[in-house]
Each structure stands twice: as structure tokens, then as C-alpha cells.
Structure 1
Amino acid sequence: MVQAVGTDAWAAVRHQTALLLGRGDAERQQAELQRLDQTEAGLSSSQNLQRPPAYYWEGMWRAHLEEFLGRLSAEELSGATAELDSLVRQFGTPARAEPTSATHGGLAAGKDVSVRAEGGSVAGGVLRVDGGIQLSPPFPRGPQQ
């Protein structure tokens, strides 16, 4: 859902998502449309410098979809996952459409990168991150003297 905001596919994704999550209940469908509109507003508002980043909305939707799927019977789950798979196949795009690249002296990686200092040395780097980031403690065994 989040990747579709602001694209030509958004109106169709919004509509089909609300139908899927509404499961034939007009009130629930309207509530899903409002949630989708909040997502769009949160991602589109360039005036609000305090707006949550895209990964916030991705996490929110992941949790919402997990909760939705968890409420369904086995029979309903099969149909809903098929609909969701169809929606993703129809409108989904890879998280990274452009190739990974770096300039002279840089490092480009399409997957995880680990930078570690050993033997009391210091390691560092300058990062440009397109997506989330996870940091580990810099001294797993405690500071070296």
C-alpha cells in the first residue's frame, strides 16, 4: 500500500484494499478507506516536517494486515491471502527500482553491510540509506582499554 501512494495505481490499490479488508461490510470498508487516506496524507504532506517516515507506515500496515488475517477462519484466510497476493502481483513493485551504485571510493550494496572495528581500532563510514537501518552496539564485548 505504502509504495503505491502518489502513483497512478493508488486509486485502484486504495479501492481494492478497502474491499478486501472490508469483507463486504460497508462500515468497515469506509473505516479502511479512512485509514488509507491517513496513510496517503501522512506520506504526501511536505509541509509537516515532523511526519513519520515511510517505514512507519509500512510497519503500521504490516501489523494491521497481520491482525486482519489473524481474525479470519481457515477458509476465509485462504481466500483473503489469494486476494492479497493478487493485489501485490498486480500493483506491487520491488522496494528498490533503481540499481545500487556508488561513486569513486564508495561501496554499493543491495543487501546487508557490516562494518566492524577489531583489536581496539575504530571503524566508520558515511551512509546513504534508502529504507530502514538497524544498528548493533559498537562494543559487543565491552570497550577495549
Structure 2
Amino acid sequence: MLMEALAALAAAGGGAVVQAAGTDAWNGMRQRVGEIFGRGDAARIPAELERLDHTARVLAPGDTDGTAPQRLREEGVWAGRFEALLEGLDDAGREQVAGQLRDLLAFVAASAGDTAVATGTAVARDGGSAVTGVKHSSGGHRGPARAAHTGNAEATGPGSTAVTGIVTG
């Protein structure tokens, strides 16, 4: 497997951990990540679960000052951990963990849904529309969505609409 592909997979794994934090997907994702890092050693899993719990605490809603930087930091931490794990395995182990990571990504994508955090300002003028957050259009993705700390919405002029948060329909 190409190292670039492994790095991309590790980065996606880091993103999945952060995306799942605070969602219904967290417990299932948490257990899967613990097992990936435990590598069959049940004694190692509790330490991995504690690391994940630390991430969940850091990313808990309510800390509006550091949300975006903390999310980026935690995503990088987990991406680095996944990458180091993959690099330290033989080919068979690497393929096994890569498969587990792909399964994890599919699980989080299906469970956590769309997430928007720390977005900018939505500005619409002169009949335009703008959304900062998550927008589902008719026939689009249906499932859970989460918006936290989205920016401001500003609409000026007739027919203009601006929304911050989640729009369905």
C-alpha cells in the first residue's frame, strides 16, 4: 500500500474521531478505535479508551473559545497515532488495520451524519442565499446532522436569505 494512501487513511481516521465526538456514533466509534489500537491485547484497550475520553472532554460543547483550534489539534493527534500504528506494522497487519479503519470511517459516516463546527458568516445580498452550517436539499442526504458554533447570518435586499445552522428540505 502506498505511504500516501496510508497517510490519507490515517488523516481520515483522525477526522472520524473528531467528527464522532459528541454524537450518537461516539460509543461505537470509541470501542472500535480501542480495539484497533489494542491489537488483540485486552489490557491495552482501557488506556486507549481513556485517550478517547480525553478527546471527548476537550471537544465537549460549551467551550466556545477554543473549539476550532482544539478540533484541529485533536484531529492531528489521532491522525498521527493512526499513521504511526500503520507504519509500525508488517504488511499483513497493515492491511488488517487499514481494513478496520475503512470500516470505522463507514460506520462514522453512517452514524454521525453531517457536521459543521465553527463556520464563518453567511452573507446574502440582492436576492441571493447563503448558508453556514449543514444544508440538505430535497432528495439529498438524510440522517443525523450537527451544527455547533456556526457563524452569523446576514441577508440584505429583497428575496435574500441567510441561514446559520441546519437547513433541510
TM-score, length-normalised on structure 1?
A: 0.63
Task: Report what 1:81 is aligned to.
Answer: 98
1:103 corresponds to 2:121: no
CA shift for structure 1 position 23: 0.6
1:12 corresponds to 2:28: yes
Alpha-carbon distance in structure 2 between the residues aligned to 1:71 and 1:7: 31
Change (3 A) 1:49 1:58: same
Task: Find runs of 4+ consecutive structure 1 residues off by over 6 angstroms.
Answer: none
CA shift for structure 1 position 30: 1.3
Aligned counterpart for 1:65 among listed residues 59, 73, 82: 82
Alpha-carbon distance in structure 2 between the residues aligned to 1:38 and 1:83: 22
Relative to its length, the structure with more strand (as a share) is 2
Q: Which runs of 5 or more residues in structure 2 are unaligned? A: 1-16, 131-150, 152-169
Q: Aligned AA for 1:5? A: A
CA shift for structure 1 position 34: 0.8
Change (3 A) 1:102 1:65: same
Change (3 A) 1:54 1:102: same
CA shift for structure 1 position 27: 2.6
CA shift for structure 1 position 46: 2.6
Task: Report what 1:35 is aligned to.
Answer: 51
The count of aligned residue pairs is: 109
Alpha-carbon distance in structure 2 between the residues aligned to 1:91 and 1:47: 23
TM-score, length-normalised on structure 2?
A: 0.54
Work out which of the two has the higher radius of gyration on C-alpha atoms and give 1 or 2. 1
Change (3 A) 1:76 1:94: farther
Q: Which runs of 5 or more residues in structure 1 are unaligned? A: 109-127, 129-145
CA shift for structure 1 position 45: 5.8
Aligned counterpart for 2:37 among listed residues 13, 21, 26: 21
Instruction: Give the root-mean-square deviation of aligned CA atoms.
Output: 3.2
